[in-house]
Structure formats: C-alpha cells, structure tokens
Amino acid sequence: MIVWLIVACEVGFWVLLAVGLALRYVAKMPRASVAVLLCEPLLEVVLFVVTAIDLRGGAEPDWKHGLAAVYIGYSIALGHYTIRWVDVRVAHRFAGGPPPSTPRYGMPRALHEWKLAARWALAAVIAMALLQGAIWYVGEAGQTGSLEQWQQRMLFVIGINVVIAGSYTLFPKKAPPGHRGTGLDLKRG
C-alpha cells in the first residue's frame, strides 16, 4: 500500500503542478494557481501519516517505509526548487517570459552545483531524521535493518553530490574562445 501511495503522491505532485501552472498562464488566475500549488505539501503530510499508521499497526519496517522517508525529504528540500524550475520554463515557453538561465562556466557553475548539493544534502538529512524517528517509533522489538540501510544510502547521496560540486570547483569548465560574459548563458528551455 505504501508504494502505491508514494506513486500517487508523485503523480499528484505533477498533476497539481500542471493544474497550477495552467491556471497561472492559460486561465490567467494567479491567485487560484498559488492556492493549488500550496496544496502540494498536503501530499507529503498524507504520506507521512499513512506511513506512521502502517508502522503503528504492526507492519515490519522495510524498503517501502524507507522510500517514503526519502520521498518526503526530497519533496521538502527540493520540491520548491523543482516547481520554480518548471515555472520558469513554462513561463518562457508559453507566456513570453525570459529564457531560463543556468550558469555553464567557471565559478558561477561551481556555485550553482554547490547550491544543488546543499539541497540534496538537506533532503538526505531530512530523510535520515525521519528514518531515525521510524527506528525509535518501532523500537527494539521490530526489525529496523532496512531503515538503517536507507540511512546509509542517504550518506552516499550526500557524498555523490559533494563529489560532483567539488569537481566543478576543482575542474571548472572553461568558456569557449570568444565567449564573453559571467558564465551565465541563457539556455532555451
């Protein structure tokens, strides 16, 4: 049941995002758009409550409960960033907004990668905290090995993101000859 709820939350996230952006750019109803987009966190609350009820009801903690914690961590730390990322591209494509800009060269790109790494680290720390809460909630009577494995995976996620950001810092991509600017290139979305 938890897996299907995670899938439903992910589908719900994208449906709410599509409806919210359609209200903003097609129907020209910005307040209704904000109201719909503010419903996004309710998905995580439902997932959290159902997962806690499942564990409280005697379910053995397994990979599904760990995945729920990871999904909630991602949504909290990167959900707003994802919405903003999509919004900029939809605004450019359908509403005449400015093209999205992403730093592509040098230190601006490295800074961009460190900010992403920080978001991923926050997502991992939130997931690890939820997992630890689940371990304490279940207590010593339950098998919590799968939840502990998810915590280790979250440390791996942090490490991978630090390595990626560090590579952009140590080996910055150089702008092509004749390129002028600050490393910010406008990319078509």
Residue count (the chain) = 189
Instruction: For residue range 11-47, list pLDDT tens digits in order.
Output: 999 999 999 999 999 999 999 999 999 999 999 999 9
Element (H, E) at 101: strand 101-103
pLDDT tens-digit map of 37-96: 999 999 999 999 999 999 888 888 899 999 999 999 999 999 999 999 999 999 999 899
Structure tokens at 7: 């899938």
Q: CA-to-CA distance for 7 and 10, rounded, in angstroms?
A: 5
Bridge partners, 186 (sequence order): 101
- If you average pLDDT over every residue of the chain, what do you get? 91
Cα 73 off chain centre by: 7
**Residue 142 structure tokens:** 């339950």
pLDDT interval class at 189 (50, 70, 90): very low
Would the pTM of this model clear 0.85, i.e. be above it?
yes
The answer to whether residues 71 and 6 touch, using CB atoms and an 8 Å cutoff, is yes
What is the rounded CA–CA span in Å between residue 60 and residue 182? 53
CA distance 4 to 52: 15
Q: Which residues contact 18 (CB under 8 A, 6 or more apart)?
A: none
Tracing tokens 């991602």 back to the chain, one arrives at 74
Distance, CA of 167 to chain centre? 22
> Could you identify the residue written with the tokens 């449906």?
15
